[in-house]
Amino acid sequence: MSGLTLSEQIISNNVGRPVRAGELVVVEPDTAMGHDSLTPGIIKTVKEQLGVEKVANRDQIVLVMDHVAPASNVGTAQNQNFIREFAREQDVRLFDVGRGICHQVLVEEKIARPGTIVVGSDSHSTSYGAVGAFGSGMGSTDIALVWATGKTWLRVPETLRIQVSGRFRPGVDAKDLALKLCRDLTIAGATYMAIEYHGMDWLPMNGRQTMSSMAIELGAKAGIFPPDGEVAERFDVPDWLYVDSDAIYAQTLEIDLDELEPQVAIPHSVDDVVDLSDIVGQKIDVVFLGTCTNGRYEDLRDAADILQGKQIHPHLRLLVTPASREELQKAIADDTLNILLSAGATLTTPGCGACMGRHQGTLADNDICLSTGNRNFKGRMGHPTSQIYLSSPSVAAASAITGEITDPRLLTVSL
Amino acid sequence: MSNIWKFGADVDTDQIVPGRYAPYMRPDKDVGDAAFIEARPDFNKQAVPGDLIVATDNFGCGSSREYAPYALRRRQVGAIFANSFARIFYRNAINLGIPVFVDAELVEKLLAGSEATLDLEDGTILIDGNRHALPEVPNFAKEIIDAGGIVPYVREHGRFPNS
């Protein structure tokens, strides 16, 4: 009998018998996360539609306020109080406004851990794969059913293996690799599959989080790193979770990082990706540095290294939204935040920020934004005529100085 | 007789309901009123109960927001036909009891057609006078859709399908 993929190992452990890709199984997720945008509806489904007054397992549930944080209008304010009341009544964990983006907080709190199943009311729940968890996004009704019954059903996914060789060259990072995968595989290229990332035991956790958060942009159900390197140093890894040399993969894609150029996604699809050199000079109005994909300390530091002693272009806004309070505190502890603010950045509350166009930097008609986020769908950040480009933090920072999409490597040379 | 609303590939959930129109942002409004409000104002203004949505590949990609299919249910969309669906949307639509069909041949006929009549009980669809069989739906999905969604299914059976 051949070995198991990481997804098969994690799901097998949960159900207590070996399972293979293609099987439909009922699992008890270790965690079912809800954020402020959808939790009010989830609570109503649990109570009013399912008729359940007490959740099945309070330890399974985590609530995070990140999508509109703090509240932007009376509607969101009322909804947030409704969530706070539910958290107190059911005695479940709530990370309130300012704590950070759900996907960052659950990793920092070690709620997402190697070998766990974490489902969330958010498509970017694939992020938990960065720490060797099976993380997957679901709709409100599925999350409500977990809260009510403790269980959910899922189909054990086939696995797409990304086999990486080489190392990032200067000016290239995990975001460029994530965008390159979108470019090569397309927005539907991993639908129904789990992705495993191999050959990157050297990649720090923040880079893994960038990659795993964007697994969903390929349609994937999960995006899992083997629990090695920094993850193995920071987390306990169960002995049954390891890379099985004879696991069966549905598909393998090989990528040589030595050949990888900085990548930029252009409006309005995350798989419409070009080499940076093909889009330099594109004028921009806003740079957004943040999100679950690229809002961590290391991302802010990459930007600060480029913005040190510089000013952003006078016609441009630079929005900085740290992924969490802890990440913000790291940026305060050294000179990172001060460099960004001195360059002209606007700092907003840790959370999702402008990513969904709801607050803290909504785009106006015809605004052009260069974002370090993960989605550039039409109208996502505001007016339907606004445009979103996606890049790494380094490219975003260099572009904030010039007001147009700029290669940070050339910027350094010219100064 | 139903209208056919035609779409291409990769219709994302931000197009179906922009995040700015989420029930969270506008708790006193009907999210059905926001269906395709910016991407397809014609659908938003003119779609009537029973209308069909037809798309090519990867319908419903992007955000997991269930209020996107829910908005279509509020508009009483009769069914969604596509060459393929994004995973989370497909699951959400089934959970809400919305009939979803994966059938490239029917999609091609519907995209070329002007009106259609869906007969779920009979398992057929009449497109411009020609009757076609509806494709097989996976058994677990059929059980959920027939029950009117996963919530009524679980309330009735006390378990998930196939468990």
Give how far A268 is from chain B: nearest CA, Å: 10
Q: Does B20 touch chain A (CB under 8 A)?
A: yes
pLDDT at B161: 87
- Name every chain A residue with its beta carbon within 8 A of the beta carbon of B63: 122-123, 375
Chain B residues whose CB is inside 8 A of the A51 CB are 155
CB A374 within 8 Å of CB A270: yes
C-alpha to C-alpha distance for A275 and A263, rounded to whole angstroms = 5
Rg (CA), chain B: 15
Q: Are residues A195 and A79 in the same domain?
A: yes
Query: What's the number of CA atoms in the CB half-sphere (13 Å) around residue A413?
Result: 7
DSSP, residue by residue, A252-312: EEEEEGGGPPPEEE-TT-TT-EEEGGGTTT-B-SEEEEEHHHH-SHHHHHHHHHHHTT---
Q: Between chains, do B20 and A78 touch, taking CB under 8 Å as contact?
A: no
- Any residues with CB less than 8 A from the CB of B157 and at least 6 apart, and which? none
8 Å CB contact of B88 and A377: no
- Cβ <8 Å between B20 and A141: no
Write out the two tokens for B87: 């995973």
The torsion angles phi and psi of A159, rounded to 5 degrees, stand at -125, 135
**Is the residue at A32 inside a domain?**
yes
Q: Is the pLDDT of residue A313 over 50?
A: yes
Confidence bin at A2 (pLDDT 50/70/90): confident
Q: Decide: A266 and A186 in contact? Cβ < 8 Å.
A: no
Q: Which of A224, A256, A288 is the last residue of a domain?
A: A256
β-pairing, A286-290 vs A317-321, is parallel
Residues A49 and A76 in one domain: yes
What is the domain count for chain A?
A: 2
Does a structural domain hold residue A193?
yes
Whether residues A352 and A239 share a domain: the answer is: no
Average pLDDT over residues A51-57: 97
B160 touches chain A (CB under 8 A): yes
Nearest CA-CA distance, residue B141 and chain A, Å: 12
Q: Do residue A274 and residue A402 come from a single domain?
A: yes
Q: Please give the pLDDT value at position A314.
A: 98
Q: Do A75 and B25 touch (CB under 8 A)?
A: yes
Asked if residue A200 is part of any domain, the answer here is yes
In this complex, the residue of B20, B39, B140 whose CB is nearest that of residue A358 is B20
Specify whether A50 is located in the same domain as A198: yes
> Tens of pLDDT along A22-32?
999 999 999 99
Q: What is the pLDDT of residue A183?
A: 98
Residue A1, domain member (yes or no): no
Listed residues A217, A234, A256: the one ending a domain: A256
- Chain B hits for A357, CB-CB cut-off 8 Å, are 18-20
Predicted confidence (pLDDT) per residue in A365-395, tens digit: 999 999 999 999 999 999 999 999 999 999 9
Q: Are residues A246 and A372 both part of a single domain?
A: no
Residue in chain A closest to B11 (alpha carbons) equals A377
Q: What ipTM score was computed for the predicted complex, to two decimals?
A: 0.96
Task: Verify whether the Cβ–Cβ distance B10 to A187 is below 8 Å.
Answer: yes
What percent of chain A lies above the pLDDT cut of 90?
98
Co-location of A237 and A300 in the same domain: no
- Residue pLDDT, tens place only, A114-166: 999 999 999 999 999 999 999 999 999 999 999 999 999 999 999 999 999 99
Is pLDDT above 90 for A413?
no
Mean pLDDT of chain A: 97
What is the pLDDT at residue A412? Answer: 60
Given A256, A281, A311, the domain boundary residue is A256
pLDDT digits (tens, 9 = 90+) for A346-370: 999 999 999 999 999 999 999 999 9
Residue A78 belongs to some domain of the structure: yes
How confident is the model at residue A415, as a pLDDT?
A: 45
User: Which residues in chain B touch residue A72, judged by CB atoms under 8 angstroms apart?
Assistant: 25
Domain containing A399 equals: 265-414
Task: Determine whether the interchain pair A26/B57 forms a contact, defined as Cβ–Cβ distance below 8 Å.
Answer: no
Query: Which two tokens mark A259?
Result: 């050949």
Q: Which of residues 321-380 of A touch B (CB under 8 A)?
A: 356-358, 362, 375, 377-380
Residue B58 to residue A191, Cβ atoms within 8 A: yes
User: What residues of chain A, 202 to 231, have a C-beta less than 8 Å from chain B?
Assistant: 219, 221
Please tell me which of the candidates A68, A139, A356 has its beta carbon nearest to residue B66.
Answer: A139
Residue B121 near chain A (CB below 8 Å): no
In chain B, the residue whose alpha carbon lies closest to the alpha carbon of A120 is B64
Alpha helices of B37-149 — where are they, by DSSP H?
41-46, 67-74, 87-95, 104-112, 139-147
CB-based contact B66 A378, cutoff 8 Å: no
**Hey, are the CB atoms on A50 and B23 less than 8 Å from each other?**
no
- Chain A touched by B91 (CB under 8 Å): yes
Shared domain for A44 and A127, answered yes or no, is yes
B24/A187 touch (CB, cutoff 8 Å), yes or no: no
DSSP A21: T
Instruction: Say if A286 falls within a structural domain.
Output: yes
**Contact status of A188 with chain B (Cβ, < 8 Å):** yes
Mean pLDDT, to the nearest integer, of A260-267? Answer: 98
Angstrom distance (rounded) from CA A121 to CA A142: 8
Same domain, residue pair A248 and A277: no
pLDDT tens string for chain B (163 positions)? 999 999 999 999 999 999 999 999 999 999 999 999 999 999 999 999 999 999 999 999 999 999 999 999 999 999 999 999 999 999 999 999 999 999 999 999 999 999 999 999 999 999 999 999 999 998 989 999 999 999 999 999 999 987 7
CATH number for A323: 3.30.499.10
Query: Is residue A363 a contact partner of residue A371, using CB atoms and an 8 Å limit?
Result: no
A217 in a domain, yes or no? yes
Same domain, A46 and A65: yes
Q: What is the rounded CA–CA span in Å between residue A254 and residue A192?
A: 20
Contacts of B62 in chain A (CB under 8 A): 123, 375, 377
- Torsion angle in degrees (nearest 10) through CA of A55, A129, A178, A390: 30
Whether residue A305 is found in the same domain as residue A380 = yes
Q: Say whether A191 and B65 touch across the interface (CB within 8 A).
A: no
Please check whether residues A289 and A153 belong to one and the same domain.
no
Q: Within a domain: residue A163? A: yes
Poorest-pLDDT segment among A180-184, A407-411, B34-38 = A407-411
What domains sit in chain B, N to C, each tagged with a CATH number? 4-157 (3.20.19.10)
Residues of B in contact with A37 (CB under 8 A): 19, 22, 24, 65
